Amino acid sequence: MGSSKKLHIVLLEPFFSGSHQQWAEGLKKHSSHRIEILSLKGRHWKWRMHGGAISLAKQFNELTEKPDLILGTSMLDLTTFLALTREKSSGIPVAIYFHENQLTYPWSPQDRDLKKKRDNHYAFINYVSALSADKVFFNSEYHKKSFLGSLPSFLKQFPDKREKDQLKGLTEKSEVLPLGLDLSRFDDYRDSDKEKQSEPVILWNHRWEYDKRPKAFFKQLFRLKEHGHAFKLVVLGEQNDVNPPIFEEAKEHLKDEILHWGYANTFEEYARWLWRADILPVTSKQDFFGGSVVEAMYCDCHPILPNRLAYPGHFPKKIRRDYLYEEGELEVRLETALETFMYLRQIDYQSLVKHYDWSELIENYDDALRNVVEL
């Protein structure tokens, strides 16, 4: 336990939407510190990483009160922000929270910058932002290890003066603060009729993007249907201007199984569908934490997750095999889950993830943020 000093913290979020917005608002709501959020709308992510710091620096320079701590997030070019606010930010401790990073995040094959070899700059923004901060927080142990572990090979591609001696200090000031989630708000929408439903419900509750590997997910469902397995399907999640074509194909191919298709317009609708679902097969290529997975598990949905990325960190070692699959095992694990879904409905998955609720995590956050100021 740290002291009881209450801090004034300015939280900088260039991409204020989705999980980033929920995290920022959750921290502000639950923290004993006074959190002031400066933000920009969550769109045009590349431009936010380039220009967001300029806009947020302008907002910061207009503040009348000097905060005790500046807390940026991973979409912020912290070096540019600090340069443009140096008269006002000088002497204020700075921390950065990594929701994701562009060094180990897989790029879309359709991204024009990838073909032009222009993907290094965004990773470099993350790297120098971490170097510039007094403290670096990651949302999972996997995220921390993958980012720090990838830096030596990332720097190796540059011609000289790579300053690899900086990595030791970066590692020493890095720490894990799991993603805080407002899980208890799901409690009001628990579905007491779930036990009466005679067919298992498969769930997708992620973004409609390629890194979640929707093609692999739906191909598994096509096979299940061809083999005569009965199931229903709920497809939720944020959609983009250009969704992977597999979604339209799946909507037609699985039309008889679909209970819901598309973004839930209210939290209540989203929560009720999670409580209604039985099985969450995940095919993601990348997940630094897995907020949508944790939310589904909190609503007692059985997860079938790849044994990689951040997922192993959600389970004690002795039961990981029950929920994590190796390459090539997903089809068999899914079939087994469909055959035993009535039994799976009796398992308490919520107890595995309820420690991510803000009520359980906020004291750790408050102490960690206080410690940055007391460094």
| Cα–Cα dist 337/331, whole Å | 10
Q: Reduced to 3 states, what is the DSSP secondary structure of residue 255?
A: coil
Cite the beta strand spans of 294-357 per DSSP E: 302-306, 324-325
Beta pairing partners, 38: 12
Q: Reduced to 3 states, what is the DSSP secondary structure of residue 152?
A: helix
Asked if the domains 8-181+357-373 and 183-355 are classified in one and the same CATH topology, the answer is yes
CATH code reported for the domain at 183-355: 3.40.50.2000
User: According to the model, what pLDDT value does residue 1 have?
Assistant: 45
Helices 246-253, 214-226: inter-axial angle, 10-degree rounding: 20
Residue that the structure tokens 């079939």 belong to = 335
pTM above 0.85, yes or no: yes
User: According to the model, what pLDDT value does residue 242 have?
Assistant: 82
Distances in Å between the Cα of 363 and the Cα atoms of 214, 298, 359 are 37, 21, 8
Domain spans in the chain, listed from the N-terminal domain onward:
8-181+357-373, 183-355
User: According to the model, what pLDDT value does residue 2 have?
Assistant: 46
CA dihedral (2, 180, 101, 85) positive or negative: negative
Contact 69, 7 (CB under 8 A): yes
User: According to the model, what pLDDT value does residue 114 have?
Assistant: 56
Contact 8, 67 (CB under 8 A): yes
User: According to the model, what pLDDT value does residue 232 have?
Assistant: 97
List of residues 6+ apart from 87 with CB closer than 8 A: none
CATH code reported for the domain at 8-181+357-373: 3.40.50.2000
Q: Which residues of the chain have pLDDT under 70?
A: 1-3, 105-119, 192
CA dihedral 40, 42, 48, 52 (to 10 degrees): 10
